[in-house]
A and B are shown apart, each in its own frame.
Chain A
Amino acid sequence: MKILVFVNHVPDTETKVKISADGKTIDPAGVNYMLNPYDEIAVEEGLKLREKSTGEVVVVSLGTDANKETLRKALAMGCDKAVALKDSSPRDSFGVARALADYAKEYSPDIILCGKQSIDYDDAQVGGMVAEMLGLPSISVVVKLDVADGAIVAEREIEGGHEIVHSKLPAVISAQKGLNQPRYPSLKGIMDAKRKPIEERVVAAIPPRVEVLAMKKPSPKPPGKIVGTDASAIPELVRLLHEEAKVI
């Protein structure tokens, strides 16, 4: 089975966001980067699929040389091969999807896995866009995946429950937390990863269709009221919620 996984290199969840001087992006100084958590789940799912059948897991990322750190992590988890699509020009999800779809068209996988969204821009678009560009079925926010005989039964999260979705392969699956528990790379995995190939390809710039006019931090909330320090504060809290906030 040819399994293709898209991964992104994103600021880690501990990042304290500072807006850079251009007023449109975050200041990268002091930011630690990580493999996008939802993509890590996609990598794990790819590895599980390979373990169930035979085949290879190829992991792709678009960005700069820095993305190779994330590709090495995926290789250390057990992926067979990595591809770094190189371009540092500004790009939105459409542009990312286009480059990934072009690679996928060439590689012609049986299944494409990615995270439901990247925790930097939170667009949640790349999976669906790639699927549309390739004319493939897509299932998003997947929490359970069964693949057998060229067919998929997936469970996806909706408000108030789950949908059971049937599809054929090839398809694009975007992973939600709960689909699996990603493995930690073993020491052997980390050592092996140093020797696994990372193919580098330069890709053409694609001007963004979504243009950031300004980025700011949310305005801090005015301080709230500490109503008390034990259960005796409850009647006052209930009164405030009823009369002031009017929420109960």
Chain B
Amino acid sequence: MKIIAFAEQRNNQFKKTAFEVVRAAKTIADGLSAELVGVVIGGNVSPIAGELGKYGASRVIVVEDSRLQHYSTTAYAKVLAEVAQQESGQVIFLPASSLGKDLAPRVAVKLNAGLATDCTAVRVENGECVATRPVYAGKGLADVRITSPVKIFSLRPNVFSAGAPSGGTATIEGKNVVLTEADFTAAVKEVKASGGKKDVAEADIIVSGGRGLKGPEHFAMIEELASTLKAAVGASRAVVDAGWRPHEEQVGQTGKTVAPTLYIAVAISGAVQHLAGMSSSKYIVAINKDKDAPIFSIADYGIVGDAFEIVPAFSAELKKVLGK
């Protein structure tokens, strides 16, 4: 049996999720006594393919074409489906990243496969892969199995540990997939980076501000704290709707779902919809002057007090301790 792990790359460098997905796929492959095959698609990716061997892939299939340098949904879907079919891959793992969530549904239809999106845990049970995935914005957790012969799971970024790279090596195989212009529908023409700001979806540490900050100008101290921690700035829905912060920063049910190592919620009450977006954070710090704010029910550490006093003190202490 073969397990396929799609490793996402951008600009010919692996995303962190590539290693998370390969490592998670490896645990399932071991549990099913199956072979783990990594798949890399891109413009110039042979040089990096071997890295996947350090996370458990025994073989890596590389599909390289200058036309694949930029993501194109239908071209990538055709390639991944064809590779999976040729390998008779029965279980396919992808990251539940922007690209992964775009790619997986089309591959699922091509392979007539069921797809479980944004899984936060996978295990082998009764000889098959069973996944846990959040539903109702994380208010529920569903354990699911897939009934079709081919099963596809996308994994939530930053939840599965890639672990340390081992000394393992993989056999790299180049594969040619015939692609015509017709395969490149909806093509990416340009990528606009968010001006060097860290994206909440990928940050290890997030400092997030809410309506209790009383005005957009008070986000300056949030940005200062974030900068000291090399963190991303997040925002509650209220401040995004008020126009204080861009919606890319919104964390919550109608914003982004994040799972950083540390989430610092400043002047955020912790409405259910906000918690839905950040409750997977490994550690949560809450700073709020209302001791009954729901955020304290999920915070690991909290200070009940005035954010305007506490946040600058936090930055100052960190600069002292971290020697900045």
Give chain A's interface residues, CB within 8 Å of chain B.
Answer: 11, 13-17, 19, 24, 26, 37-38, 92-94, 97, 119-129, 131-133, 136-141, 143, 152, 155-168, 171, 177-178, 207-218, 220-221, 223-231, 233-235, 237-238, 240-242, 245, 247-248
Contacts and interface: CB of A to CB of B under 8 A. Distances in A.
20 contacts: A26-B136, A122-B118, A122-B133, A122-B135, A125-B104, A128-B102, A131-B106, A132-B106, A137-B73, A140-B73, A159-B201, A161-B199, A209-B148, A210-B145, A212-B143, A228-B305, A230-B309, A237-B314, A245-B301, A248-B205
Tell me the dominant secondary structure on chain B's binding face.
mixed
Contacts of A234: 303, 310, 313-314, 317
A230 B253 CA distance: 30
Closest 8 A/B residue pairs (Cβ): A209-B114, A128-B105, A137-B185, A231-B313, A132-B109, A167-B186, A137-B186, A17-B139
Contacts of A160: 193-194, 198-199, 201-202
Given A125-B117, A131-B106, A159-B201, 16 more contacts: A13-B253, A15-B136, A94-B114, A97-B109, A124-B105, A137-B73, A160-B199, A162-B191, A164-B189, A165-B187, A211-B147, A212-B142, A230-B310, A238-B318, A241-B285, A245-B301
A24 B109 CA distance: 25
Contacts of B282: 247
Contact of A125 (B108, B136, B314): B108
B279 A218 contact: yes
Contact of B102 (A19, A141, A178): A141
A177 B138 contact: no
B266 interface: no
Tell me which of B114, B198, B309, B318 has the highest count of chain A C-beta atoms within 10 A of its own C-beta: B114
A166 B229 contact: no
Contact of A226 (B255, B284, B302): B302
A133 B111 CA distance: 11
A231 to B, nearest CB: 4
Contact of A141 (B98, B118, B286, B322): B98
B221 interface: no
A231 B305 contact: yes
Tell me the dominant secondary structure on chain A's binding face.
mixed
A238 B140 contact: no
Given A92-B114, A234-B317, A213 B301 contact: no
A21 to B, nearest CB: 15
Given A13-B137, A15-B136, A129 B108 contact: yes
B306 interface: yes
Contact of B284 (A137, A156, A224): A224
B90 interface: no
Given A124-B118, A137-B185, A247-B205, A212 B302 contact: no
B192 interface: yes
Contacts of A171: 185-186
B101 interface: yes
Contact of A215 (B135, B201, B247, B250): B135
A211 to B, nearest CB: 5
Interface stretch (B52-60, B171-179, B292-300): B292-300
B194 A211 contact: no
A231 B187 contact: no
B140 A17 contact: yes
B247 A156 contact: no
A122 B119 CA distance: 11
A164 B79 CA distance: 22
Nearest to A172: B186
Given A234-B313, A237-B303, A247-B283, A167 B140 contact: no
Contact of B105 (A121, A125, A157, A163): A125
B7 interface: no
Contacts of B223: none
Contacts of A159: 15, 97-98, 199, 201-202
Interface in B257-313: 261-262, 272-273, 279, 282-286, 291, 296-306, 309-310, 313
A119 B138 CA distance: 10
A161 B187 contact: no
Contacts of B187: 165-167
Tell me which of B98, B130, B201, B321 has the highest count of chain A C-beta atoms within 10 A of its own C-beta: B98
Contacts of A127: 105
B98 to A, nearest CB: 4
A177 to B, nearest CB: 5
Contact of A158 (B99, B109, B114): B99
B186 to A, nearest CB: 4
B194 A161 contact: yes
Contacts of B82: none
B314 A163 contact: no
A218 B275 CA distance: 12
B113 interface: yes
A13 B272 contact: yes
A240 B142 contact: no
